Amino acid sequence: MTKLNNTTLAALPEGVIRPTYDRAKATIGIVHFGVGGFHRAHQAMYLDQLMNRGEALDWGICGVGVMPGDMRIRDALKSQDCLYSLMVKNPHGRYEASVIGSILDFKYAPDDPEAVIELMASQEVRIVSLTITEGGYNFHHVTGKFNLDNPDVVKELAEGATPITVFGYVTEALRRRRERGIAPFTVSSCDNIQSNGDVAKEMVCAFAKAKDAELGAWIDANVAFPNAMVDRITPVTAPEDITELEKRFGIVDAWPVVCEPFTQWVVEDHFPQGRPAYEKVGVQMVEDVVPYELMKLRLLNASHQALTYFGYLAGRRYAHEVAGDPIFATFLLNYMEIEATPTLSPVPGIDLDAYRHTLIERFSNPEVRDTLARLCAESSDRIPKWLLPVVHAELEKGGDISRSAAVVASWARYAEGKDEQGAPIEIVDRLKDELMEIASHNNDNDIAFIENREVFGDLVDQPRFVSAYRQALDSLHTVGALETVRRFS
């Protein structure tokens, strides 16, 4: 067994891809907040590939954590010179391993806030990137505006306060750069939210204006926030994955990352201070991300919702168990082709039929073992953003909404809290109590769930949707999830 660090790279087994560049000669050009599994399977991986071509050695990453949970990744990375293993799980049991070296340093911000701010304020740092999850953007779930009542934000807004949140660190670093005559870095959101760059800009500017109105206006006018679409299924690393890495490749890694083989990154090409030549390693640099973003949201993300509740109710627990069943696969393909795809604009360079079938292949990969429980979580945030826009678009033009309505019905049935075998369901949602209370009335008021206007807006006023929803919910109660899905074949 080989404990991963700089001195043991040469001793790794043959077949393990490792950095071919001299990490000691690489310098930091990117500060990244939120060094989780996805960042390490995606953005850091792309940069490592570019470095292995002998390029972008001045674009190394310094990871930064601001949450208490980030101490674990600090300790794991620091113990192995910020190297980590990426294990790609191909179908049919074929695994590939590589060691990624593009993260050169990691700082847990509360350990030394000043060091983090000064690094970001330095001329060498030209990009500050984010994977802080949707919740990390601190917007109010009803108004969509920056939540100035967040207790950490309240503390940060006090005169002379030390930053606590990402917004505090970004704003203070930009203030110092402005003061010193250093051009502002680009803020590059890599989170899986629609218009992520626009959201990042709105939230950063809202904080900055509350802190210093003049500075906030300067950030609004001078800092670039490009949008991006990101995609790679990256399950949470399980203890079994650590063991599997040791068994297959002889690597001892405190926190490796596992992922599927597919990866995609589409980025709005707006980086005034420069950027790595990402296009050389397969990143799509484009003028407009929106067509790609809507494709992913309405095909991939909404299809996850289309399989997860039906599958869970029917006793399945993993995505591959559902997508690998021809009955479910046919339902998903028909949803994508008949209902979702007609709502999309042309997507440059993408064969949508091939993309749809690729999604089924990805969902069916038994090695990834993506849990339905993960996909079922936070439905009140996901369904309105991913599926309901398809419903509204199809209602407007008289298109088919039967499968989309059935997915909403499957969520309503799932929210009742028991699967078809009577086993309890652990609902994970910010509106859990409210949703379960409403769903408990599904049998005596079959439209109770969609009467929740905070989630569904005016869909309860749309007769065609209500009719399709009622039929699907009745079918779920009388014949179950599998037979309901089969009826759409």
**Do 243 and 306 lie in a common domain?**
no
- Does one domain contain both 253 and 366? no
> What's the whole-number average pLDDT of the chain?
96
Q: End of a domain among 286, 310, 331? A: 286
Residue 135 pLDDT level (bands cut at 50, 70, 90): confident
Contact of 170 with 120, CB cutoff 8 Å: yes
Q: Which two tokens stand for residue 426?
A: 């652990």
Comparing 134 with 217, which gets the higher pLDDT?
Answer: 217
Residue 193: strand, helix, or coil = coil
Give the burial class of 250: count Cβ atoms within 10 A of its Cβ; 0-12 exposed, 13-18 middle, 19 or more buried: middle
pLDDT band at residue 1, thresholds of 50, 70 and 90? confident
Q: Give residue 70's pLDDT.
A: 97
Angle, helices 379-386/302-313, rounded to nearest 10 degrees: 130
CATH of residue 228's domain is 3.40.50.720
pLDDT of residue 426: 97
Question: Tokens 């930091």 map to which residue?
Answer: 28
**Rounded distance between C-alpha atoms, residue 357 and residue 324, angstroms:** 12
**Res. 141: pLDDT tops 80:** no
Q: Both 306 and 180 in a single domain?
A: no
**pLDDT tier at 153 (50, 70, 90 boundaries)?**
very high
Residues 249 and 321 placed together within one structural domain of the fold:
no
Which residue matches tokens 């021809």? Answer: 326
Longest CA–CA span in the chain (Å) reads: 69
* Residue range 429-483, pLDDT digits in tens: 999 999 999 999 999 999 999 999 999 999 999 999 999 999 999 999 999 999 9
Same domain, 208 and 342: no
Which of 287, 265, 161, 150 lies closest to 212 in space, CA to CA?
161
Q: What is the pLDDT of residue 143?
A: 81
Q: From CA 110, how far away is CA 421, in angstroms rounded? A: 48
Domains identified in the chain, total number = 2
Q: What is the mean pLDDT of residues 425-429?
A: 96
Of 221, 252, 286, which marks where a domain is finished? 286
Residues 241, 326: one domain?
A: no
6 and 141 belong to one structural domain = yes
Judge if 219 and 281 occupy the same domain.
Answer: yes
Spatial contact of 423 and 414, defined as CB atoms under 8 Å apart: no
pLDDT, one tens digit per residue, over 36-85 is 999 999 999 999 999 999 999 999 999 999 999 999 999 999 999 999 99
Query: Where are any strands of DSSP class E within 90-154?
Result: 95-100, 103-108, 127-130
Instruction: State the average pLDDT over residues 346-362.
Output: 96
**pLDDT score recorded for residue 144:** 84
Query: Are the beta carbons of 225 and 189 closer than 8 angstroms?
Result: yes
321 and 382 co-located in one domain: yes
CA 24 from centroid of its chain's CA atoms: 31
Q: Are strands 84-89 and 257-259 parallel, antiparallel or unpaired?
A: parallel
Q: Which of 244, 263, 286 is the last residue of a domain?
A: 286
Predicted local distance difference test score (pLDDT) of residue 173: 98
Q: How many alpha carbons lie under 13 Å from residue 175 in its C-beta half-sphere?
A: 19
250, 305: one domain: no
Statement to judge: residues 312 and 186 lie in one domain: no
Is the domain of 270 the same as that of 370? Answer: no
Q: The sheet that has 84-89: what strands, in order across it?
A: 95-100, 84-89, 257-259
Rg (CA), the chain: 23
Tokens of 137: 């953007």
Q: Which of 293, 315, 292, 319 is nearest to 306 (CA)?
A: 319
Tokens of 246: 């040791």
Report d(CA 477, CA 313) in Å as an integer: 11
Residues found in the chain: 489
278: pLDDT strictly greater than 80: yes
What's the pLDDT tens digit per position in 282-294?
Answer: 999 999 999 999 9
Range of the domain at 444: 290-486
